[in-house]
Amino acid sequence: MPEGSYSFRVGSIQCSVLSDGYFAYPTEWFFPNADPDLLRLSLESRHLPAHSVLSPYTCLLIETGRHVVLVDTGAGPASPTTGAIRARLEMLGIRPLDVDTVILTHAHPDHIGGVATPQGQPVFRNARHILAEREFEFWTGRPDLSGMRVPSEVKAAMARTARRSFDAIRFQVETLDREREIVPGVWVLPAPGHSPGHLAVMISDGGDHLLNVGDAAVHPLHLEDPTLENGFDLSPAEAGATRKELLERAVVDGMHLLAFHFPFPSVGRVAARQTGGWEWTPGW
């Protein structure tokens, strides 16, 4: 497979995870409530740097035979290390015009930034763009980002990107307010907390299941220690409850998991730990 992509099947449904790139975040943005010394030891034990988190941006392509669905669009050309999603698609023989459905788990820049060209035109011109009604109303109104624990300039940039992106796709947006099957075998599930209308995506076919949790967890440490929070969560308590609900569902139903920011290819399984939390095992 091309570098930056990894393909597998969920029953008869062809899936490919595609890297849009990556970004290095200050560690405290991902773990704002962590004890700094304990966090440093946890990261060092995994041979990871203590002062920054190198975070992948992993989108999901779903090909059912009748539909071509893209879950999240990456950040677009927001930085020199992002904006690869169109090239990844084309290396798999998929043109932007071939995509008939885009599912946006939420409207943060690293998920929605790829919907528009730098000139403000939609990239996926033939696609309906699915997202939660609460998410659309939040970002197209006067978004209150006070619950997030990241710098104010970051919050302002997030709001600008959301407005610019929704301006580009305003005639292609389709909102929903409950769990729904989008195309046969592909469901969206409300998963709020990270953002007001954050969605998870579930693929089920032939007894196989994949649960894309979006940003319900952004690092494997958030699974191992459920008390750790994410500075980008708008409502940390609600986000923690959603994370628990999704992971317990994945364990009970034997699902594979996909997490947008986990180490590429960002798929794996989770198992409950006797000491609490969940253990992440990468791989399909």
The per-residue pLDDT for range 195-233, each reduced to its tens digit, is 999 999 999 999 999 999 999 999 999 999 999 999 999
Is 91 among the domain residues? yes
CA of 94: how far to CAs of 56, 68, 284, in Å?
22, 9, 23
Given a cut of 70, is residue 120 above it in pLDDT? yes
Domain assignment of residue 102, given as a range: 5-279
The pLDDT score that the predictor gives to residue 3 is 66
Which CATH number goes with the domain that contains 75?
A: 3.60.15.10
- Residues 62-81: tens digit of each pLDDT: 999 999 999 999 999 888 99
Strands 208-212 and 199-205: antiparallel
Q: For the chain, what is the mean pLDDT? A: 96
Is 248 among the domain residues? yes
Is 109 among the domain residues? yes
Does pTM top 0.85 for this prediction?
A: yes
User: How much of the chain exceeds pLDDT 70, in percent?
Assistant: 99
Residue 32 binned pLDDT confidence (cut-offs 50, 70, 90): very high
Is 193 among the domain residues? yes
CA torsion sign, 114 to 120 to 126 to 132? positive
CA torsion sign, 245 to 221 to 7 to 60? positive
Is 259 among the domain residues? yes
CA of 123: how far to CAs of 77, 81, 96, in Å?
12, 19, 6
Q: Where are the alpha helices (DSSP H) in 4-105?
A: 27-30, 36-45, 85-91
The pLDDT score that the predictor gives to residue 118 is 93
Structure tokens belonging to residue 166: 């929704």
The pLDDT score that the predictor gives to residue 1 is 43
- Cross-strand bridge partners of residue 270: 280
Q: ∠ CA(182), CA(259), CA(115), 5° rounding?
A: 55
Mean predicted confidence (pLDDT) in 52-59: 96
Query: What b-and-e string marks burial along 23-37, b requiring 16 or more CB atoms within 10 Å of the CB?
Result: bebebbbbbbebeee
- Cross-strand bridge partners of residue 69: 62, 101
Is 161 among the domain residues? yes
The pLDDT score that the predictor gives to residue 56 is 96
Task: Name the domain count of the chain.
Answer: 1
Is 46 among the domain residues? yes
Q: Which residues contact 154 (CB under 8 A, 6 or more apart)?
A: none
Is 284 among the domain residues? no
The pLDDT score that the predictor gives to residue 284 is 87
- Residues 7-29: tens digit of each pLDDT: 999 999 999 999 999 999 999 99
